[in-house]
Each structure stands twice: as structure tokens, then as C-alpha cells.
Amino acid sequence: MGAFSDRLRPYGNTFRMWCAGMLICALSLSVFCSPAFPQSATLTIYDDQLRNGFLDESASWISRDLAGTQVVHSGAFSIFFEPEQWQGLVLSSSLDIDVSDYPWIEFWIHGGNGGGQHLWLDIYHGENAEGRLDLNSILSQGAVPAGEWERVQVSFDDMGLTTGLFNSIRLYNPGSDNEMPVYIDDVRLVNLPQINVSPRRYYFAVNLIGSSGASDLLISNNGLADLNIWDVSLSDPTNFSLSLSGGSDPCSSSLPMTVSPGDSCTMRVTFSPLSEGDFSAFVTITSDDPRNSTETSEFTGIGSISESENEAVYDNELSGEWLFTGWPCSNGMLPAHNSTATYTGRPGSVLEVVHCDGGWGAFVLDRRTESWDVHWMYPNQYKSLKFRFNPGNNLEGIDTLQVSTGAAYVSDTYLRKYTHTEMTVTDHWYEVTIPLADLLINGERFHSIVLFNSSEEARPAYYLDDIYLEWIPDQTPPILSDMDVTIGATSNTAAFQWTTDEHTDFIFEYGINDFSVGRIISPTYEKVHELTLAGLLYDTTYQYRLVVSDHQLDTAVDGNAVIREGTFTTPPIPTTPPAITAIHIPEQDIKWNRATICWQTDRMADSKVFYGVHGFSSQAVDLTPVVDHCMVITGLLQETTYQFYVVSRDLFDNQAESSPLSFTTAAPGTHDVQFMIDSAEDVRPISPYVYGDNYYDYLGTGDMGAWPGSAHNLTLLRLGGNRWTTYNWENNASNAGTDWYNQNDAYLCSDPAVCDTPGEAVAARVETAHDSEAAALVTVPIQGYVAADKNADGDVAQTPNYLTTRFHVSVARKSGDLSLAPDLSDDTTYQDEFVNWLEFYLPDGAIFYSLDNEPDLWAETHHRIHEDAVTYEELVGKTIEFASAIKDIAADAVIFGPVSYGWYGYVTLQDAPDRNGRDFLEYYLDSMKQEEDITGRRLLDILDLHWYPEAMSSDGRRIISEETDPVIVEARIQAPRSLWDSTYTEDSWISQSIGGPVNLIPRLHDKIQTHYPGTGLAFTEYYYGGCGHISGGIAQADVLGIFGREGIVAANFWRLCSDCSFCYSAFDMYRNCDGADNGFGDISISAVTADVGKTSVYASLYSGDTERMGVLAINKTTEWLDIETQISHVDTLVQAEVYQLTSVSTAPERIADITGILNNSFLHTLPPLSVTLFRLEKESVVAVPGDLDNDGDRDYSDYLEFRPCYRSCDGAPNFRSEADLDHDGCVTINDYRILRTLIFR
């Protein structure tokens, strides 16, 4: 088949039916030897009769008449035919027709009285189908019209036929039941005009009022017929003017005008602003081009009373505070650049940019201060971006190049749109002017210029020069909105909100009779402003004055200011109690052991419920001021009637209390989920090193830092990350690569007094870990270069020969004697000497060794020292070389590798050049096993990987963000299942690529068992997001339980959060639930939940305490869950301490103990989104509850001990914690009932 064969494939049956109907069998055979038609403006096929050698070759049984008179468009006749299913009209020529000579077909069509017929138009060359169009897709009524003629104009290009020959036109019914007659008339092949207007958008930049700027508007006819222009209009004739016959090649001075095929002419647009401001005008051209009958070009400009000025960004070299950076491409690399390139047509240096393979990515010019803070620029003065652009020797990829500031996403800012002349040739310097208003659609401030490749395939390469920002003095004051003043709930605070139409700072002053009480000055320029005044007097009128000023480039010039004055009055102190209304208990919230009581108050107040069976001896308290109150009361007795009343105290100490009410708890129903615990199954030790962390926080000069893990009793501090790839232990210098501008600096050791001491950055961290009785995992650089200096002067590539001047060579072994005082003058760093130093000076705690960091990304993160992608062979070679050197110094050293960044690294080493279809981890493990088989020494002890989940929410967001809406919370909470659950398939590119569950840990254990048995598994970086929210805490707790149960050797949390409270509290649930370093056990045992979607459960024994068992339960739902826990254990467990992490508190809290457990089974309720730790005990573990006289039993003498404590609370001299049997802080009637039950049991 011909050029259209691929497009016919979906219609294979249709094509075969056409052949069966013999509609193509009558084609003339002369087409194979006949010449083509000569070109002319029009080739008529039918007007009253077939012309130019066209024949009717329709099937003989088709009812048709080529001289029909029933309905005629022009002349005397028309074609009539009845389109039976899969049949129709065939008009063929004995001559070939070149589509480039006649690119359009035109005819008129009529559907008779009924209309609605469905027709396809096909174009054939011999027996080859070349193009097809469903006519209904272009007809105005979506079908053949009834009772009227409609003109049809079809471009063969739209039918898939762009070049080549054809000789047959077919109109047929593609299976429709409507076979009513159709009429065709005035069929012809035509050459049509094709209008092209350039520029489509032009920016005049800044013009002084009274001056003018002009631009040509080029009108071209790229078609094969005359272009008739009927009308030209200008939308703003006040500030713009249009000359039809202006410019370099003037058009006609009058309308209509004609532009011949292949010809062009110019009109002239002039911008002459009459006032200050931004102006735009549209030139609209109406022509007889059937595809684009209306073309529009936009002209914009700024009227100003002051001359504009140009601020250089790049002119032979990068200016001032500007620096080069970028956004990674899809392969992780950054676009490359050369700031000292040369190119024909420009004097001096130009800027060469080459985008990386893999698509996307951006080249960025970023503006920073000397202290590396963002240098903001504001659109009240900056008006346009100007530069020269050269596409080099090809235009490939230029169409996908977008310009941005990074401050806002605008979809249609392609570079091609802003060149002064149309970009059609290579090796040419084009002038580009872009109004910043196009890039800053809401007037955002900005600090960068971005050239973004919006394609996943293209790789633009180009040259830039003379990059300038145009700005003008701003003498227009900002517009200030109305002031929104809100008096706070305490009546002694006031919140102010206002907006300005441009970025401003402000000075706010206030007082009672003047403005002397307070003065607030904003530190930044914003468009949305707010402030809060506190400590105000009650029942007092204040006056205020607000001054807002816009930003000025010239710091010696005051900003344009607006002043607003006003007053506000604070209310008097309320003296009446808040009103309590709408007390209710939703029926569905009364359970066997809990109830939810709700009410409302007319102002902010706290929440208290007093309740009991006989009286009101128990209470639930929430001191958070609200107006809608709901309190969940737990620990209730089943099928019992309780009395209660509610109390709310407002912020002014006015208290209201309700009348007593009552409710009755339900009978125990069926549990929601069952847990099964078996201490004889799946028993394995939990590695102490799964509770690890990466971060080390500086405390200031003189105190090198603190490890947050020490506050949570964590067990492993890792010294890892991109900086450690280039860490020089001799002088503590490092380079974070693209994490921080490829800069050498002293970040790892901020105190100058000790920063030149060899190894100080490591020593401070390792000693902190050892002081906390934790181990340290130290990174040994293996890439080959380490930072030579701590200059902190930006990208090292700005230094000529930077690899030899800004870095030292790093090698595995020193040929001579090792020294504890390294030679600082030899420009070489020896890693065996580093290990020897560590082992000598820090012998008192465990130190493990990690072989560098994420080598699969070296070419992206550390492109300055490793330009090419790492290979399988290279990484294995370095692993063997450096691991051997380490074990030569410390034979028992535990070595971690390869420290891969993620899934694509595991599988392909980030698409390494020598991959050859091999799985990287399998190759790596095989290679390390082979090395051990040869040398008899294991060099790799732990397979070390990083895991940042790729799991997505149902609406396509990655779960490791800090977002906490319900959709992403659900995905985050379920994501840990991908670590182990072979039935769970997450939504991610990984699961899609492998066609099912990730099942990560079992998958990796299988690789280890197959390729290098005995190797441990570690995840020394991981993060699940949302750490400032309970969902992050739940995911973290789940992950820690999985790591312990699945035999992970080591794991280190990587802190991507600013608020990490819930994630660290998840650690506390395992390591420090009571603030005394107690928590979960260290021996994992079998724990199974009946519903892994709703819950997780982990169980443990304690090697140092045989009387205890730990069960950690997670409720992943937003509902309360009743859990039945069945335990198979050699001992009888009778009670449990209970610790809980919920959304209410960012730290674990101890709640009421469980007592009276029978037959190692108990029923308990888990709050929504919670983590609960049960520390179960045999009866002999602690003092017998209720045994107040400590005689080993509970009897009347214990009651006598209880009486003096009755109605006392914690802190009272007669309070005894042993008498507080429900652990609510007070000895109440409820404690008495518990004691009575215990005595009579």
C-alpha cells in the first residue's frame, strides 16, 4: 500500500468490503504509463459534465446520474447518486495528478430533503489508498446538509497526503443505514492562497511619550493562487498607527489588495504612546485564505516619561551577581554551557548552551547576593528581556525551547515567538525581545532567566549574547487595597491584612492618641501583607498609620509611597459565660468502650466532659479553644449507663456548664480486625542499626553540632550524602556538586578554629554518635577527586584548569608509611591513611565504612569531576580497590556498597554505557563473590541502597512531598507495603515497568541469596514524606517495623522535612516511648493482621526481659477500629502499658493501662490514624495492681490504704500513684470501682 497504508490499518475490514464491492476494480490501467496534468490555478473535474479526462468508474449497480436536474448548484446539471452501505461514487482520471500542483479539492454537496447522510472521502493512486477524511468531521451540521448546498474545501495535507501522485476520488457510505440520495456539483482541484504574517507578536519595548517606534509587518502568500486581502484593522488607533503601504517592501495603499503566489509585501506599524502605561494593539487581516481567513498580529509597548536603561546579564562575560545553574533533564544531567565560546558574527565571547539527552531540563541564569541569598527583581521597573540568539548549524529542537523566569508557569512562551524576524535559517543572529509581562502573568518577582526544553526528545543547542534586562524608573505609587482588620478571639489582638498591586514594603505605626505605642517595619517586598498586634488594651480605640513603598533599583531613591490612616476598637472583656448548645451523641458513635460527645459554644472556649456511672468522677479535657466541640471518651464499661455534663471555659475565664445527661454503652460487637501473635514463629533478632539517621545539626561556633538521633535513642549515625563524595579529610573541604552550585567550601565543618584540623568534620560526628552509644557509618570517597580548598566562591568551573587547581587526587593506598598527620602539600589524599587515622583516634565505638555516595549519579551530581556516566566495570573496580585498602587497615571492618540512589540505578546503573542488558545489582554481587572466591576475603559486607518511593497518589502526586491532603495521605500510608507485600501494586513508574508489585525487600533478598549469599541489606537513605503530619509518622513507624521484621541490617532516615516531629516520634515509639529509652523489643516474632490495608502489626520479645512482649499496632484509617489480639506464648500475659501516637500530640503519650487480660487475648480500640505500642507483661513483672500494702494480694487492708488517697490528684500530699488505677492523674470513684473489682475477683 501507499503512503496512507498505515492509516488504513484500523479500517482493514472496511477496505476489504470495498474490494468485495468491486468499487476499485474499474480503475483505468492507463495510470501506470500516463503523464501528469500540467499545473494551472484550477483543474475542473465536474461542471455539468466530467472534464479533463475524468471518468465515472463507480460500480455498475450504484444508482447515479451525472446529468441530474432535481437539485443543481450552478449550470444545468449536478451529480446524483445513492450511497448504499460501503458503496458510492468513484471519479478517476487517466492522468496522474501531483498533489503539490493541486493541494486542495473543492465541491458543493446537498443531502436532498432528508440530509444526514454519512460520507467518507478517499484519495487513491492506482490501487493504493493515499488519504482519507470523514466528511462529517468538517461539515457544518456534522452530516450532509438537508435542503441546502454546502461548500466543501479539503486540503490533501489534512488527509495524510503531503506529497506524491493520485488519480482517483471516491465518496462512499462507510456503513451508515442512511442511503438517501446525495447531490454533488462544481467539483474541482484548486490551488489556494496561503497567508503568512510575521511577526505574530512584536514588542516595541519602552518609548518616551511623544516619541515613536516602528516595525514592518510582513504579509506573505505561500500558496499557489492569488491572495486577496479584503480588510485590515487596528484595535488601538490612539497609541498605534498602521500604514498599508509602509516598510521595506510596501503593500498596496488601498483595499482590497492582491498578493501573488510566492510574493510578499510590508505594512508599517508605529507605536507613539500618548501617556504612561502598558499598551497593546492587534492588527487583524481578513483574506480569502480558506484555512486562515483571519490572521492577527499583536504589537505591545510601554509608554514612559523616562528613558529606559539596560542592565547587563551577559556581555562577553557573566555580570555581577549572576551565576550559571540549571534544572536536570530526564536523565538527571544538567545542560552544558561554555561562557567563553566564540561564534562568527559576534565580537568577543558568546555563551554556548547544549541541552542534555533525554529531554526536558533547563539552562538557568540565577541572580544571587554575595552571601548566596536570592536577589529578587521586581516588575514595577524591569520591563523586558533582550538578547541575541543563534541556533547554530541546525534548527532542531528550537521549536521546543521556552523562555521563563521560573517564577510562574506560562504555557506559550516559546522563543521562536519573540524573535524580531522569523527564525528560518541557521548560523544567523536573531534579536529577541520578550516583555516580562508575558513571563510574569501575575506580576511575580523573579531572580532567574530560564531556557526550558519542553520536549522529551529534542536536544536544543544554541548560542546567546548581549543578554540584558530593560528597566525604567518607576514614579507611579502602588495601589493599596482596603484594610481588613480582625479582632482576635482574646479581644486584645488585632490582625491586619491588605494587598498592593505591586511588591511593596511597609511601615505600620499605631497608638491610642498618636502613633507611639508600636512601629513595625516589613523586612521584604510583598503583594499580600499581614501583621498581628498583640497585648492591646480592652475596650480601647487605637489609631494607625500605614506607609507602603514600592521597590527601587537605585537604593538612593525612595520608593513611591501611599499612606493610609485609620482606627480600630477592641471590645470590652466578656463577663458572661459562653452559651452551650446542641449537645448530642451521634448514635453511631456510642460503642462498647467509648462514646463521642459533641456541642457548640457561641465563642471560643475549651472542652471538658465530666462523667461516671454513679456521679461524675471521671473527666476528659481538651484545652484547645474552639466553638465546635467533640470529645471522645474511652475506657468505658460495656452495656453501662453513664451520666455526664459538659463544661466550657472561655478565654476570659467565664465558665458555662450544661445540665446532666446520660448515655448507655453498647454490647461488644464483632471486632473490625484481628491480630494473631505467635512467639514461636518467625523468630529473628532485630538489628539494632535499623534505627538510624543521617542528619547532624550545627549548634554554633565552638559547639560543632548535635545529632537529633541522640534525643530519640537512635543507633546509627551516617556521614553520607553528595558532599562526602568529595570530602577531603586532610582539610575538611568538600563540594556538594549540583546540590550547591558545584562550590568548594567548609560546609561540613563550620568553626574556623578547628576546621583546618585533619578529620575534624568526621571526628565531631563520630564522637557525638559514640557518646550516644550509637554506631557511625563513615563515607570513604572512591570517585577519585576531593576538594582542595574551602573558598566558597561559586562554581569551580569558573577557575581555569579547575580539576588540577581546585581538587586533589584521591587514591585508595599510600605507597609509603601511613601517618596520623597527613602531608598537606602533596596534592594527593590517601583513603587508607584516612581509615588508619579513624581507627587510631576513634577506637571506642563501632565504625562502619560506606563506599562513597550514589555513584550511579556522579555524572549528574558531580559532573565537574566525573563527566561521563559511571560503568559497571569502573564501579566494581573501584569497590574492590578501596574495600581492599580499608580491610588491609581494619580486617574486621564492615563495608557498605554500592550506595545506589534508587531503582533505575539498581537495574541499569543509570543506563551505564556497558550495561548490555545486564541487571546491575546481580552483576555487582556476582563480581564481589568472584573476588572473594579468588582472594578468600569478603570485601562487601552490606548491600547498601537508597529508597525514595516513587509511589503516587491517585491524582498523580509523589508521596514524598510534605502535602497532607486526604488523597496523598492515603497513598503515603499504603506505600510501605511495597517494601514487602507481594499482593500490593502501587501507582508508580516502577510498578508499571515491571508489570506488578515492587515487593522490594524479598526481591533484593532473592538476588543476594542467588548471587552472593551472606551479604546483608541496608537502606541508608529513605524518606516517605509528610513528617509534620500524623501520616508521615504512621508511614515511618510502618517502615521501621518492616525493617525489623524483614531482617534489614541497617537503615538511616534522610530528613527532607522542615517539621519532622511525627517521624521522629515514630522512632520514639520503638526506642523511647516513655522518655526513658524504653520501647519495642529486639527480637522479632510472628505478627499477622487480617487486614493489611487498614492496619499493620509488629511483635517482639525483649532479650533482656523475658517477662515482657511488645506489640505495635497501626491504624491506617480515619475511623476508630476495634481490634481483637490473640497471642500464642509460653507465658500468660495479664496486663500492658499502652503508649500512643496520634494527630493530637507530636510525641508518644501513655494512656490507661490494660489490666485483667485473660487467656492471652484482649480487645482494644485503635484511634484513627494512630500508632499504639502495647508493652505486655506477666503478672509478676510489676507490683500487683491494687496491692497498696505490698503484701502480694488484694484485700480489705488495701482498701484501708486507699481511703486516705481518695479524691486526691497528682501533686497533692496524699496522692499515691498506686491508687490511681486508671492512670488519669486523680484518685476517683472510678479507681475505687476498679479496686473493688480486683479485691472481689
Give whole-number Cα distances, 396 to 336, 399, 963, 1180, in Å.
Answer: 17, 7, 39, 80
Cα gap 1185→1175, rounded to integer Å = 16
1070 in Cβ contact with 1151 (< 8 Å): no
- Give the contacts of 130 (CB within 8 A, at least 6 positions apart): 2, 3, 4, 123, 124, 159, 160, 161, 164, 166
Distance CA 882, CA 184 (A): 83
Q: Do residues 208 and 304 lie in contact, with contact meaning Cβ atoms separated by under 8 Å?
A: yes
Name residue 577's amino acid. Answer: P
Q: Which amino acid is at 1114?
A: I
Please give the distance of CA 355 from its chain centroid, rounded to a whole number. Answer: 22
- Are 67 and 81 contacting, i.e. CB atoms less than 8 angstroms apart? no
Helix 872-889 to helix 920-935 angle (10° resolution) is 40
C-alpha cell at position 393 = 548549524
Classify 989 in phi/psi space as left (phi over 0), alpha (psi -120 to 50) or beta: alpha
- Cell numbers for 600, please give them: 457548640
- Return d(Cα 396, Cα 416) in angstroms, integer: 12
- Residue whose C-alpha cell is 476499485: 24
CA dist., res. 1205 & res. 1214, Å (int): 5
Residues marked active site are found at 854
Phi first, then psi, for residue 1007 (nearest 5°) are -60, -45
Report the C-alpha gap between 924 and 767 in whole angstroms: 33
Angle at CA of residue 1028, ends 1022 and 1031, nearest 5°: 70
Query: Is residue 1104 exposed (0-12), middle (13-18) or buried (19+ Cβ within 10 Å)?
Result: exposed
β-pairing, 350-354 with 461-471?
antiparallel
Quote the CA–CA distance of 130 and 168 in Å, as a whole number: 10
Whose cell is 556498597? That residue is 897
The grid cell for 736 is 556538594
Q: What span, in angstroms and rounded, lies between the C-alpha atoms of 158 and 7?
A: 12
Give exposure, 671-700, as e/b (b: 16+ Cβ within 10 Å): bbbbbbbbbeeeeeebbbbbbbbbbbeeee
- φ, ψ of residue 410 to 5 degrees: the values are -125, 130
Q: How far apart are CA 117 and CA 85, in angstroms?
A: 11
List Cβ neighbours of 101 (8 Å cut-off, separation of 6 or more): 36, 37, 39, 191, 224
Nearest Cα neighbor of 772 from 834, 720, 714, 705 is: 714
The Cα-based distances of 335 to 326, 363, 459, 462, 797 in angstroms read 7, 6, 9, 11, 14
The x, y and z cell numbers of residue 1028, run together, are: 509534620
Half-sphere exposure of 572 (CA within 13 A, CB side): 3
| Closest CA relative to residue 266, chosen from 291, 283, 288 | 283
In our burial notation (b when 16+ CB lie closer than 10 A, e otherwise), range 215-245 reads: bbbbbbbebbbbbbbeebeeeeeebbbbbbe
User: What is the residue-wise DSSP string for 62-102?
Assistant: S-EEEEE-SS-SSSS-EEEE---BT-EEEEEEEEEEETTT-
